[in-house]
A and B are shown apart, each in its own frame.
Chain A
Amino acid sequence: MWSQTPEHRTALAEARRAIAGVAGRKAYLSFSGGKDSTTMLHLVLQAMPNIAVFHWDYGVYMPRPIEAEVLDNAHKLGAQDIRAVPVLGEADGYDQELLHLLAEGFDVAFVGIRAQESVRRRLRIKQGRSLTAIREVWPLATWTWMDVWAYITSNNLPYLGIYDKLNELVGYDRARMSVFFHPDFEDFTGATDGVLHWRYRHS
């Protein structure tokens, strides 16, 4: 089991250290519902049980049964302050929400990105570059896909059923959750959505 290895224990310790480092700050957590944010939510809730959990709801690009599963998993993990924010319909949905967050006094955001995911994310983590005025903390920055799945299975965490479908086609190492049929995410999903999730193409 990978969860018993020194490498995984080191990654786990690093994540806990990153979470402990923001003690006393007003933090929120970005939760997509994917495997990384599921893992991060479970870790953060152990230190901050009342943390605000923000979830972007992509509307038509996220089929309602899967959206319901995302929110259900957040509840099962123990999140109490879950805020699902619709981001479609307004051109500046993200900016509007950022202003609300700043007005509420949030100054730290937990974001579940990993350096292993892409070159762009690796450089972003290396440069310590946050996307907004709110400083980001990346507890899983050094984690590998094996660390994430080892944590999920060893803690028996709920995860989205689409990962098992994706695994049949691409393997758990490459299975990524994204919104479906959204032009901005074509690079991540491409033809896979059309074949695996054809049912949602016109939903």
Chain B
Amino acid sequence: MSKPKYQAVPFRVVVRLAAPVALNHPWLHLDGLVSHLVYQRMLGREYYNLPTKQVVHLSEMQKGKYAHIFPLIGGIAHASASIFQPDRMASLQYFKRFHDQGWPKRNKVDIGSGHYRNWMMRWVYVPAETATFYGYGRIDHIRDLMQDLTHLGNDTRVGWGKIVSIEAEETPEDWSVVYQGRAMRPIPVRLLSSHSDAAMMACRPPYWAAASVELCAPPGAEAELAG
């Protein structure tokens, strides 16, 4: 039997950024990112017609050649959480309010709804130059899918997380799950023989779904895989 042309290899994905990444969670997850790209690739514009708060699973047949990008370990993918460089956070507040721009010529103005509604939004962002992910799997598919990725994180429509370039390269070792005794991604405690911290968090795509949540060692915690 001939050796397959491509097989699972450890790799690193370095995303160079042109704009800070807006977040509503401390980490992005490589398997979540790839899952988004696979659904987008396979469903096309139909992807944006999916119900927003309901999990829709594509079958292996529907995912086609992208069905097995990452080997799984206890149901979680060999894919790390994001490592931002530099790794610090800041926040920004946006306001819309009319009281300092002049009111319309009427006595009562509703500031709770309608055109004159006061509005405030706070964004947390990471002013990172690069975001690095580690994985173990089909690097050829990763390179292929990453061509579709233009932004990282939240609120990309207003420019947050604009990507300059993405490089995926093979690495000598697999750092995707545990590296030097530290969790590189949320790892369910059922897969660990020891851990220094644990919290209820999502550990598989879709990361927003309640069904993806279980007790996990968070990224950065000391962790040792069982067996």
Contact = CB atoms under 8 A, between A and B. Distances in A.
Interface of A: 118-120, 123, 168-170, 174, 187-192, 194-196, 198-199, 201-203
Interface of A is mostly: helix
Contact of B91 (A192, A202, A203): A192
B108 to A, nearest CB: 11
B122 interface: yes
B213 interface: yes
Contacts, number: 64
A119 B97 contact: yes
Interface in B145-183: 154
A191 B22 contact: yes
**What is the predominant secondary structure among interface residues of chain B facing chain A?**
strand
Contacts of B202: 202
Contacts of A199: 199, 218
B25 A118 contact: no
B169 to A, nearest CB: 29
Contacts of A119: 97, 99, 111, 118
Contacts of B111: 119-120, 123
B218 to A, nearest CB: 8
B25 A192 contact: no
A190 B93 CA distance: 10
11 contacts: A120-B112, A120-B118, A170-B91, A174-B91, A187-B120, A191-B122, A191-B123, A191-B124, A192-B91, A199-B199, A202-B202
Contacts of A120: 111-112, 118
A170 B26 contact: no
B2 to A, nearest CB: 47
Contacts of B90: 169
Contacts of B26: 195, 198
Contact of A191 (B23, B99, B112, B118): B23
Given A190-B123, A192-B124, 19 more contacts: A118-B118, A119-B97, A120-B118, A123-B111, A168-B89, A169-B124, A170-B93, A174-B91, A187-B120, A187-B121, A191-B22, A191-B24, A191-B123, A191-B154, A192-B91, A192-B122, A201-B200, A202-B213, A203-B200
A198 B24 CA distance: 9
B213 A169 contact: no
Contacts of A118: 118
Contacts of A196: 124
Contacts of A198: 25-26, 199, 201
B105 to A, nearest CB: 18
A195 B200 contact: no
Given A118-B118, A169-B91, A187-B120, A195 B23 contact: yes
A49 B78 CA distance: 60
A174 B90 CA distance: 13
Contacts of B213: 202
A194 B91 contact: no
B25 A202 contact: no
Nearest to A194: B24
Nearest to B118: A119
Contact of A194 (B25, B118, B200, B210): B25
Contacts of A201: 25, 200-201
A201 B200 CA distance: 8
B89 A190 contact: no
Given A169-B90, A170-B91, A174-B93, A202 B118 contact: no
B185 to A, nearest CB: 14
